[in-house]
Amino acid sequence: MQFRFMVAASLAAFTLTATAQMPDKPIARPRITGISHIAVYTSDAAATEHFYREVLGAVKLPDPENPKGVRYALSATQFIEVLPLPEGAGINRLDHTAWNTDDAETLRRFLGSRAWKVPGQVEKGTDGSRWFTTWDPEGNKVQFIQLPDHPKQVPAPEAIGHHIIHVGYMAHNRSVEDTFYRDLLGFKPYWFGGMVEGRVDWVSQQSPDSHDWLEYMLTHGSTPLSASTGIPAGMSQHDLGVLDHFSIGVDSVDAAYKTLKDGGRLEGTKTDAHTQIGKDGKGQFNLYDPDGIRVELMNFHATEKPCCSAFTADDPAE
């Protein structure tokens, strides 16, 4: 079984294990206020730094969570965390996704009180942040971060955008993933669609207290009861990187593309040939980091009618 999904060897045992006793009084879920970051692996730190600093325009910072890591910040509250490629990663380049919360400790206890496996305590970063790590039903690592009391401002004047509006990763079973994100955490529907009529390939769920969203990138289309986990045999690193991605919101993808191209920032970078309108009716342009993680520049708002389903919540904004 691939490195990324070792935790998912027993879904039933995972979802029914609790690390805290049921409290006498129910614990209210703290707010989940949007995306914090996505953490990816690099096999070439210099090439990855060039991509995130020179192409995307993010600001390089030390990593308060992991001294071996680096942060590339788009704002004071959102960044890309880059970690050294571990042994056994295979084609996988995604370590985890992360969400901001008002209160990491209370959220940890909330999940534990509902029979979800959580660590015994939160961790603390050198910047004063607090976080804990858990796993979704398919074994994808997820963190919940409480920002420092006084987060430092991060001017990023060259950033092509300052708001990560969604993260997405490979998923097999929409219904099973929903037991965690929707039923337990309160994520809410935003949009779903597919490449062909009648098939669901992408399911977007906004976090409960923001308009940022998570996108299930389904490998089994609309098959609702698939019990598969792990990286499918024969999947390439490129194809997995297309699924494991994040999106930076912009007012105009065409204008952002022109900025990158005219500034020479796309030279030597793998990208799609041109901008396009996605199935959701929003302009988009795809770039790929040196290890194949897809970065999707996306318009905040649709300019054409979306296929497959209507939007059921407000769009994010700058």
Q: Is 222 exposed, middle or buried (0-12, 13-18, 19+ CB in 10 A)?
A: middle
Residue 168 and residue 174: Cα distance in Å, rounded? 13
> Does residue 130 register a pLDDT over 70?
yes
pLDDT, position 23: 52
- For residue 138, is it within any domain? yes
DSSP structure string for 4-31? GGGGGG-HHHHHH--SSPPPSSPPPPPP
Instruction: Tell me the two tokens of residue 174.
Output: 């929409």
- Cβ atoms of 224 and 192 closer than 8 Å: no
Whole-number pLDDT of residue 13: 41
The pLDDT of residue 228 is 67
Let me know whether 12 and 142 are in one domain: yes
Same domain, yes or no: 7 and 142 = yes
pLDDT for 220 equals 62
In a domain, 116, yes or no: yes
| 305: in domain | no
Work out the average pLDDT over 166-191. Answer: 96
pLDDT for position 198: 83
> Which tops the pLDDT comparison, 6 or 244?
244
Nearest to 132 by CA among 65, 78, 177: 65
Number of domains the chain is built from? 2
Long-range contacts of 194-200 (CB under 8 A, 24+ apart): 194/221, 194/222, 194/279, 194/307, 194/308, 195/279, 198/222, 200/174, 200/308
Kindly provide the b/e burial profile for residues 290-309, where b requires at least 16 CB atoms within 10 angstroms of the residue's own CB.
bbbbbbbbbbbebeeebbbb
What DSSP designation does 308 have?
S
Give the number of other CB atoms < 10 A from CB of residue 315. Answer: 16
Check whether residue 32 and residue 92 sit in a common domain: yes
**The predicted structure's pLDDT at residue 196:** 85
- pLDDT tens, residue by residue, 207-242: 999 999 999 999 864 444 445 678 988 899 999 999
| 159 assigned to some structural domain | no
pLDDT in tens, 87-129: 999 999 999 999 999 999 999 999 999 999 999 999 999 999 9
- Residue 231: inside a domain: yes
Give yes or no: residues 168 and 264 share one domain: yes
Residue 229 structural domain: 164-299
Instruction: Say whether both 195 and 128 belong to one domain.
Output: no
Please, how many CA atoms are within 13 Å of residue 164, restricted to the half-sphere of its CB?
A: 33
Asked if the structure places residue 40 within a domain, the reply is yes
- Percent of the chain past pLDDT 90, that is, above it, reads 84
Cα gap 171→119, rounded to integer Å: 24
The pTM score is 0.91
Give residue 197's pLDDT.
80
Residue 313 within any structural domain of the chain = no
For residue 16, pLDDT beyond 50 = no
Residues 140 and 178 grouped into a single domain: no
Phi and psi at 241, nearest 5°, equal -65, -30
Q: Compute the mean pLDDT over every residue in the chain, rounded to the nearest whole number.
A: 91
- The answer to whether position 53 is within a domain reads yes
Question: CB of 205 within 8 A of CB of 185?
Answer: no
Identity of the amino acid at 98: A
Q: Is the pLDDT of residue 18 over 90?
A: no
What's the rounded mean pLDDT across residues 53-59?
98
- For residue 136, the domain's CATH number is 3.10.180.10
For residue 184, give both structure tokens: 């337990």
Asked if 179 and 263 sit in the same domain, the reply is yes
- What integer pLDDT is reported at residue 229 of this predicted model? 76
Residues 6+ apart with CB under 8 A from 181: 136, 187, 205, 214
- Residue 185 has a CB neighbour count (10 Å cut-off) of 23
